[in-house]
Structure formats: structure tokens, C-alpha cells
């Protein structure tokens, strides 16, 4: 029996919760600031077990909300 046939039979033996798509609806995850980025890291850790088709259904966006002081707002020394 070849290796490819072993892989096919093993795929058929997997539970449907593992072999079927797990992400039904495309999702956009928006993380604002560092606290949500920590939650995003945990989400990414859980996404490691997803199949490539499921991974393409999830987009992650991180927006850094820590603004640098604006040169117009910073008082100028006289």
C-alpha cells in the first residue's frame, strides 16, 4: 500500500469536526491597541490547526492606537 493511499484512508477516518471546513463565513478581526493584540495572539495560536482553505477566510488587522506627539501640539521652547 502506498503512502498516498495511507493518507487518504487516514483522512476518511478523521472526525468531521476536523476534516470539514471550520470557518463558514469570512471574518475580519480588527485589533485596536496593545490589549486586543494580546487577544489576537491567542486567536492566532488557535488558528494554527486550521486548514489552508479556512485560513484564507480570516483576515487580521492590527491598528496601533498609541499616537506619537504631534509637532503642532507639542509646546515649543521660547
Task: Please list the pLDDT of the chain residue by residue as tens digits (78 residues).
Answer: 456 655 556 666 767 666 688 888 899 999 988 888 889 999 999 999 888 899 999 999 998 877 666 666 656 666
Q: Cβ neighbours of residue 11 under 8 Å, at least 6 residues apart?
A: 19
CA 46 to chain centroid, in Å, comes to: 8
- pTM of the entire structure? 0.56
- Cβ-contact 48, 16 below 8 angstroms: no
Amino acid at each position: 500500500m502506498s503512502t498516498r493511499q495511507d493518507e487518504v484512508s487516514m483522512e476518511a477516518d478523521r472526525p468531521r469536526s476536523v476534516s470539514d471546513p471550520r470557518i463558514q463565513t469570512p471574518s475580519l478581526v480588527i485589533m485596536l491597541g496593545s490589549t486586543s493584540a494580546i487577544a489576537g495572539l491567542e486567536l492566532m495560536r488557535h488558528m494554527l490547526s486550521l486548514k489552508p482553505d479556512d485560513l484564507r477566510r480570516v483576515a487580521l488587522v492590527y491598528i496601533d492606537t498609541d499616537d506619537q506627539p504631534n509637532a503642532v501640539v507639542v509646546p515649543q521652547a521660547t
